[in-house]
Each structure stands twice: as C-alpha cells, then as structure tokens.
C-alpha cells in the first residue's frame, strides 16, 4: 500500500462497461476451472466462519460523514459464481468478504472484512493490544467499538505495526491518539527499520504508486459480478484519511522477546520479504503464531503492480522456513494480517511448508530456466505451478501469480533487460505504436486485425494490437472501444484479483474522454510524520532543471523547534540536500518545522509566514523562490491506458 494518499479517496466513481457479457470463450474457460480445482471443499469456509461473535450492520462513515465502507458491498458473492468471473477468484473473494468480530481463541480476536487488511486484538492484563489497525481510522474505530461492545470495554494499551505498508498502520488514529501515545498511555511497537522503510518505499514515489494502485485495487469502482469482486488479498481498500503515529519503539535487528501488558511476545524479524521492514510474532501462552503478511492465504507479489522494490523470493522462503522450524510444532493456530486463521499443529506446519515452497518454486524454476537460456517472457509462459497448488488454495495466484512473480525473480537477478538485443533500446511506446500501424497497413487494417483476434478469442494478441493502435491514435474511438472489450474479457478470465482489477479499470478509462483532474494535496498530518531529511529528498525528487531560474546557490534551512538544519546545494540540474548546517551559505530560511509543514501543505505562503514573524530570511530571497519555483507539481491522474 502507498502512504501518500489512498487511491480510493479520489472517489472517481467511474463506471465499468455497462452489462458487458462474458464471451463464449471466457464463459467456457471459467466453467473449466470447476473441473480443475476442488472448489466445493468446505474447510476454508469452516475456518473463515469459526468463532464469529458479532458483525456490523450499518455502513462505516468517516468523521466528515463520507462513506468509508459500505457493509453490503460484497453481498452478491453469496450467489453462485457468474460467468463474468473466474470461479476460483469468486471463491477467494467470497471468503475474504465474510465480515465481523471473530474469536481465534479466548484472548485473541480479529476484526475481518471491513478493509483490505485484518485487525487483531489481544487481551492484555489491563487493555487491548491492537495489531495492524487497518488502512483508515473509521473501520478501525468501528471494529474496536464492536469488540468493546461484545467483549467488554477495555482501553488500548499498545499498538503493533507488523510492517511498513499503510494498510497496517494508516487507521491508527481510529484506535488511539497522539496525546495518549505522547503521555505514555499507549505504546506503539514496530518492526526494525519501520520509519525509514515507510518513507523510503512509499513517499518518494507515492504519486505514481497511488495512480498504479488504482488499477491494482480497482479503487473507487463499484463492486459487482461484472466489476470489482476483490483484490485476492482482501475485499477492497477502505476510504478515508491515512494517518501515521510514529512508533515509540522499533524492535532491534533480529527481533526480541518482550512482555506487553502481561502477554509475552516473541518477535522475529522478517524484513526483506513482503515488506522491507516486517515482523512476525509468537505468543507462547496461546501457542499462536501471527505471520503478518509473510504467509497469507494466497501467493503474494514478489513485485507488486503498484510498484515497489522487487522482493527477495529466496529470503522469503527462508524466513517462512525459520518460522516453521521455530514455531510450527509449537503452534495450535496460525493467523495473519489478511484472511482467516487455520487451527491444528499439523495444518499450521503444512501451511508454512506450502507457503515456503511456492516462493522457493518460483525462485528456483526461474533461475533453472534462465540458466538454460530462456528469456524472461519465455520463463513466465512456462513456469507453471507446483503440484500442491492444485489442492491448497492458499498457494494460488490470487494476488501475485506464478507468471508475474517469475518475471520479478528474473528482474531481481538480471534487471529489466530480457536478454533480447532488439529490446535493449526500443523506441518510445508512442513512436513504436505509430510504426506498427504503418507497418500493418494503416489504422483500419490494424483495427480489423485486432477485431479478428478478438472474435477468435485470442485476447492477449488482440490486446497487443489494440494497445498499439490506441497509443498511435488515442482519439480513435473505435480502437478504444475495441480495446476496452478486450481488456474486459481478460479481466473476467483472471484468477488474480489484481489482474482482474487492472484490466477492468483500464477498460473503464478507455471509455472516458479524459481523466478527472484531481489535485495532489498531501495531508498536513502526513507531511508532519516524514523525517525532515526525507522530506527534502521528496522535494529534490520534484526538481525540474527546465524550471530552474537564476544562479546556483547554497541554501540553509534552520528549524528551531526541532533543532535541525538542512543544507541544499541548488544547482542548475540538481537540488542536493544534506543534513547539517554551514556558515558559508547564500540564503538562510529560519522557520519552525511545524510552519514549514504548513507551507508544503499549501495552508500558508512564505510571505505570510514572514509577515507574521514565523519565518525569517537572511540573504537573497530570490534563491528560495528559484528553488520552490523549480519544483514540479505531481500529477495524480496521469494517463496509463493512453499516451
């Protein structure tokens, strides 16, 4: 998940293709899934319903009255699978949509089905220990209230962030407050390196990640048999403001054992797997293993479609094996930050073995074929899946896929070049597309070829032809409509929730004349949570040399309230910030960090702050104007399906 702003808050309200039916080819393929997988197996349904105590029956609203989570959004999944959806994904989505408060065992509870992720509540000696307070505050607050109403009201005494993705910390202000944390009433515990990795992975590239996340999660789109049915990892993103209260304790490298309100936690570091900073933990008094997002009920992304650093599938498998060796035989239950638990030591061990081995499978088979000379695309086409994926639904590609993850493993070892010389320095997509159209006899001929491929059910080839034509002629309505139909059928066939969402969102956007203009307004609370040095790195990543005016200069930013100084070497082509102060500066801006946050959040201007005595400038103020004037404004809704 991206930190800067959940894509769902954009509230695009874009409709997908109205009542687009499944083609005969799609319906046949989806029907065939039933003969290949044990879709009628009831064990997952029994597990997903086990221990249900209560549920919410009203929509969850944000503080401003806007809708955060519609309770009945996924009720349609109780019906038999539609032919416009892969029945395996339909089954996974139906299970993930089961919502309410659940008792894992006395003392451990989960709130599931009200966000992408799951919130776990552990009863301590004096209050609740909250694990992963969802993406936004409203569902976290509602889930906690449901637990207090059902189980007896308790204060929150601690919050644990299992890792550095926003759906595991963004709702923290729904369960506690900055005041309670500052006073010591609530402790916030996070994985080793949490703050650095939260900023590093999601803030610098946040705008682009958010835009891509709209495709990955189908954010802002309606749910239905011909629309979004889930992400594979969970139902959907809640809508609301992401918050972040910094940890009061980051665990030491390697993990630690500690007592939290009378409950013993054995924390094991798991960073560099699903997230750069991550932990799992074991509760010996409960014989319970919490696997965070390292081991869930799907094949995860080795490289997420929204964008992130490619993950290490080999390390991922080794961390799960470490969990198995340390805790497998000592665990009566395994629960996680997504999906539902599994009970019984034998099942815990088998689940960990299969989770471990699917990452090892994609890692080893990718390298085996690469060392035989296969290219990235050839490996993805031939990777297949391990034998246990035919029986264990928790190892199926509902979120990541074997094909997608094989490409990620290849990228980690070999980079973006697939080994084909012609692909090393290809033409830009638009220029290449125009030459494709010319080479195939013009737009009418290419449209006819794409239509013929579509009619023959060759949707992948049809998508290639249609995409080239749309990039060459973005205003070609016939090409856009055909490509939308192609993407729709590919989405209907997909077993991965991510793939379905990507295709269906693309289909919808092709039917729009233009994307809605959404301003990039980052919240003041979010800006305030970013360490100062990292904040200047974010500004530097927006520096546009073409906008740089005036002479080069050395700027000094002094922040009395935090005792920090940042020196910026402002050059014609680069803005380079570093921690610390210097005496030989061109211009110095003295401003409290709190007021600098207001400036960046566009809630105050520099002249206003200077006039109010909240900022002072020593030297030539034009240098500051040159720096701020050279910063690009991010484009939250940049085009993806068109050039």
> Are residues 314 and 363 in contact, defined by beta-carbon separation less than 8 angstroms?
yes
Alpha helices, DSSP H, located in 415-476: 429-439, 443-455, 459-472
Do 74 and 176 have their domain in common?
Answer: yes
Return the pLDDT at 524. 79
Residue 639 lies in a domain: no
Crossing angle of helices 429-439 and 443-455, rounded to 10°: 90
Dihedral sign computed on CA atoms, order 477, 483, 486, 487: negative
Residue ranges in the chain modelled with pLDDT below 50: 1-16
DSSP state of 102: E
Q: Cα–Cα distance between 506 and 277 in angstroms, integer? A: 32
Q: Residue 460 is part of a domain; what is its CATH number?
A: 1.25.40.880
Residue 135 lies in a domain: yes
Do 87 and 186 have their domain in common?
Answer: yes
Tell me the residue range of the domain where 492 lies: 426-510
Return the pLDDT at 4. 40
Do 451 and 495 have their domain in common?
Answer: yes
Residue 568 lies in a domain: yes
Dihedral sign computed on CA atoms, order 465, 467, 470, 472: negative
Residue 113 lies in a domain: yes
> Are residues 270 and 134 in contact, defined by beta-carbon separation less than 8 angstroms?
no
Do 266 and 142 have their domain in common?
Answer: yes
Do 464 and 610 have their domain in common?
Answer: no
Measured CA to CA in angstroms, residue 308 lies from 165, 203, 319, 540 at distances of: 11, 11, 20, 19
Specify the residue for token string 């776990």: 120
Q: Residue 590 is part of a domain; what is its CATH number?
A: 3.30.1050.10
Looking at the structure of the chain, the number of domains it has is: 3
Do 202 and 280 have their domain in common?
Answer: yes
Residue 2 lies in a domain: no
Return the pLDDT at 236. 96
Residue 517 lies in a domain: no
Measured CA to CA in angstroms, residue 448 lies from 62, 407, 438, 460, 477 at distances of: 49, 32, 14, 16, 14
Q: Residue 336 is part of a domain; what is its CATH number?
A: 3.60.15.30
Do 456 and 367 have their domain in common?
Answer: no
CA 538 to chain centre: 20
Phi, psi of 565, deg, nearest 5: -135, 140
The reported pTM is 0.94
Return the pLDDT at 385. 97
Do 92 and 234 have their domain in common?
Answer: yes
Do 336 and 366 have their domain in common?
Answer: yes
Burial of 232 (0-12, 13-18, 19+ CB in 10 A): buried
Residue 518 lies in a domain: no
CA 62 to chain centre: 21
Do 497 and 529 have their domain in common?
Answer: no
Dihedral sign computed on CA atoms, order 390, 392, 393, 398: negative
Tokens in use for 279? 């932990």
Do 381 and 501 have their domain in common?
Answer: no
Residue 414 lies in a domain: no
Do 202 and 238 have their domain in common?
Answer: yes
């Amino acid at each position: 998940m991206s930190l800067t702003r959940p894509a769902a808050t954009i509230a695009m309200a874009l409709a997908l293709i109205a009542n687009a039916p499944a083609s005969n080819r799609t319906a046949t393929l989806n029907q065939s899934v039933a003969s290949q997988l044990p879709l009628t197996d009831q064990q997952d349904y029994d597990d997903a319903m086990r221990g249900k105590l209560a549920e919410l029956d009203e929509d969850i609203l944000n503080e401003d009255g806007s809708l955060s989570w519609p309770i009945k959004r996924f009720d349609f999944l109780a019906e038999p699978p539609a032919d416009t959806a892969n029945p395996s994904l339909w089954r996974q989505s139906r299970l993930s949509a089961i919502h309410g408060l659940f008792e894992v065992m006395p003392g451990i509870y989960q709130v599931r089905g009200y966000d992408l992720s799951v919130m776990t509540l552990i009863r301590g000696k004096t209050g609740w220990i909250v694990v992963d307070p969802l993406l936004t505050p409203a569902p976290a607050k509602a889930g906690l209230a449901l637990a207090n109403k059902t189980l007896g009201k308790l204060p929150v005494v601690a919050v644990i962030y299992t890792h550095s993705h926003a759906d595991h910390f963004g709702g923290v202000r729904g369960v506690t407050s900055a005041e309670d944390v500052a006073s010591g009433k609530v402790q916030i515990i996070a994985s080793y390196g949490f703050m650095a990795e939260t900023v590093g992975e999601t803030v610098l590239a946040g705008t682009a990640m958010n835009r891509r996340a709209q495709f990955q999660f189908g954010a802002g789109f309606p749910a239905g048999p011909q629309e979004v049915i889930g992400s594979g990892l969970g139902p959907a993103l809640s809508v609301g403001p992401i918050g972040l209260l910094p940890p009061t304790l980051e665990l030491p490298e390697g993990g630690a054992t500690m007592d939290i309100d009378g409950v013993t936690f054995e924390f094991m570091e798991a960073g560099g797997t699903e997230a750069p900073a991550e932990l799992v933990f074991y509760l010996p008094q409960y014989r319970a293993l919490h696997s965070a997002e390292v081991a869930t009920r799907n094949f995860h992304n080795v490289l997420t479609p929204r964008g992130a650093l490619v993950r290490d599938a080999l390390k991922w498998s080794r961390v799960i094996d470490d969990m198995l060796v340390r805790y497998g035989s000592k665990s009566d239950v395994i629960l996680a930050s997504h999906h539902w638990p599994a009970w019984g030591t034998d099942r815990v061990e088998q689940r960990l073995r299969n989770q471990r081995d699917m990452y090892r499978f994609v890692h080893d088979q990718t390298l085996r074929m690469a060392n035989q000379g296969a290219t990235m695309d050839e490996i993805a086409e031939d990777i297949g899946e391990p034998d246990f994926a035919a029986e264990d639904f928790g190892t199926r590609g509902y979120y990541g896929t074997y094909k997608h993850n094989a490409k990620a493993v290849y990228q980690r070892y070999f980079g973006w070049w697939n080994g084909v010389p012609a692909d090393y320095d290809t033409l830009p997509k638009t220029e290449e597309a125009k030459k494709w159209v010319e080479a195939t006899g013009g737009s009418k001929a290419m449209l006819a070829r794409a239509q013929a491929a579509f009619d023959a059910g060759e949707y992948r080839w049809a998508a290639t032809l249609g995409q080239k034509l749309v990039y060459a002629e973005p205003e070609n309505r016939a090409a856009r409509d055909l490509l939308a139909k192609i993407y729709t059928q590919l989405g209907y066939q997909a077993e991965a929730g991510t793939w379905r969402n990507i295709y269906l969102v693309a289909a919808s956007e092709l039917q729009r004349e233009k994307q809605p203009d959404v301003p990039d307004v980052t919240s003041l609370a979010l800006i305030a949570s970013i360490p100062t040095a990292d904040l200047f790195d974010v500004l530097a990543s927006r520096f546009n040399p073409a906008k740089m005016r005036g002479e080069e200069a050395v700027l000094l930013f002094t922040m009395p309230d935090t005792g920090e100084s940042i020196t910026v070497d402002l050059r014609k082509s680069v803005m380079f910030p570093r921690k610390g102060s210097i005496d030989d500066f061109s211009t110095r801006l003295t401003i409290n960090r709190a007021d600098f946050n207001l400036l960046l959040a566009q809630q105050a201007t520099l002249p206003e702050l200077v006039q109010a005595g909240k900022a002072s400038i020593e030297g030539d103020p034009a240098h500051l104007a040159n720096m701020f004037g050279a910063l690009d404004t991010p484009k939250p809704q940049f085009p993806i399906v068109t050039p």
